[in-house]
Amino acid sequence: MAARILDGSKIASEIRAEVAAEAKALAASGVRAGLAVVLVGHDPASEIYVRGKVKSSAEVGLYSEQHTLAESATTGELLALVAELNRRDDIDGILVQLPLPSHVDTKKVLLAVDPSKDVDGFHPMNVGYLSTQRPGLVPCTPGGVMEILRRSQIPVSGAEAVIVGRSDIVGKPVAMLLLNQTATVTVCHSKTRQLPEVCRRADILVAAIGRAGLVTGDYVKPGATVIDVGINRVTDAKEFERLFAGNQKRRETFASKGSVLVGDVHPEVAEIAGAITPVPGGVGPLTIAMLMANTVKAAQLRRGIRQSELIRA
């Protein structure tokens, strides 16, 4: 029996509608939540992401502005821009689009962002708030994972959760969020022994390792919930066959475009899991929706305004 598909696009749409209502309530009290996005250079993928964030801001009633610096911009120039945005009261959220050019000290720039405006949730102060369950800004993708579980009525309390991947951006914060919701959490990585065996214990399995189709059927307990955070572009014909043999629709896409998207979870897992997020259309849409939620949350926290249940999550 095929797994229940957890529709991230539908959930993201629900969240955006709730954020729009929160933004409208803020505006009625004379506050328009504002987001500043900082982009360095003209990387096509980054430009697409930034356009999406600016467009989404307008759709939910947030003020947004984009600051594009030349590829040659120095660490000092970026720090000066961040300092100016920190001072502005009309800017509640600051997002520095990554990756930055190699000559820029990325850690120094991210550390310079005021923690109360850190809508990416990467600042050590917000990481500390998360680990000690204090109000703060949670990284967008992990926050989205939790919203998928919550809105899909997947029980978390008491569940055995396994995360494959220990990045600061996804793996570690997802682990902390699940732990805060009283799951029993195991974090796996490239040095984990008997990885399939460890993963098979999971009631909730989160794949965030960045390797196409790594999690195959023998990693998954029948009926488990599988959250696939990975987005990988497959261009090799042999790799395509490993993942999508017999899938005519995907074959047509591969033949016409020369590539297909796949997550960190092999498609065969959909026949074993109880519920699964698709790629595309699973976790991905939640990232920008949660960025919008974080911007409103930042505006509320900075002004001592009571938060809704969504923004608090």
Q: Which of 114, 131, 166 is the last residue of a domain?
A: 114
Q: What tokens does 300 get?
A: 């509320």
Please check whether residues 202 and 267 belong to one and the same domain. Answer: yes
β-partners of residue 164 are: 188, 207
- Strand 34-40 to strand 93-96: parallel, antiparallel, or no bridges (unpaired)? parallel
Q: Is 95 helix (H, G, I), strand (E, B) or coil?
A: strand
Q: What tokens does 65 get?
A: 């502005």
Q: Is 25 helix (H, G, I), strand (E, B) or coil?
A: helix
Which value, to the nearest 10 degrees, does the dihedral of the CA atoms of residues 257, 262, 266, 270 take?
-100
Please check whether residues 263 and 144 belong to one and the same domain. Answer: yes
* Domains contained in the chain, number: 2
Q: Name, in order, each residue with C-beta under 8 angstroms of 268's C-beta and a sequence gap of 6 or more.
A: 216, 217
Residue 4 lies in a domain: no
Please check whether residues 199 and 80 belong to one and the same domain. Answer: no
Please check whether residues 144 and 106 belong to one and the same domain. Answer: no
Question: What span, in angstroms and rounded, lies between the C-alpha atoms of 115 and 124?
Answer: 8
- Catalytic machinery residues: 53, 97, 120
Q: What tokens does 40 get?
A: 């360095």
Please check whether residues 151 and 79 belong to one and the same domain. Answer: no
Question: What span, in angstroms and rounded, lies between the C-alpha atoms of 282 and 145?
Answer: 9
Question: What span, in angstroms and rounded, lies between the C-alpha atoms of 13 and 60?
Answer: 11
How far, in Å, are 27, 34, 91, 250 from residue 294 at the CA level? 16, 11, 13, 35
Digit-by-digit pLDDT tens for the chain (313 residues) are 789 999 999 999 999 999 999 999 999 999 999 999 999 998 888 888 888 898 999 999 999 999 999 999 999 999 999 999 999 999 999 999 999 999 999 999 999 999 999 999 999 999 999 999 998 999 999 999 999 999 999 999 999 999 999 999 999 999 999 999 999 999 999 999 999 999 999 999 999 999 999 999 999 999 999 999 999 999 999 999 999 998 999 999 999 999 999 999 999 999 999 999 999 999 999 999 999 999 999 999 998 886 655 554 4
Question: What span, in angstroms and rounded, lies between the C-alpha atoms of 100 and 97?
Answer: 7
- Strand 160-164 to strand 225-228: parallel, antiparallel, or no bridges (unpaired)? unpaired
Please check whether residues 211 and 145 belong to one and the same domain. Answer: yes
pTM of the model: 0.93
Residue 55 lies in a domain: yes
Question: What span, in angstroms and rounded, lies between the C-alpha atoms of 11 and 143?
Answer: 12
Residue 80 lies in a domain: yes
Please check whether residues 258 and 170 belong to one and the same domain. Answer: yes
Closest C-alpha to 169, from 125, 216, 229, 228: 229
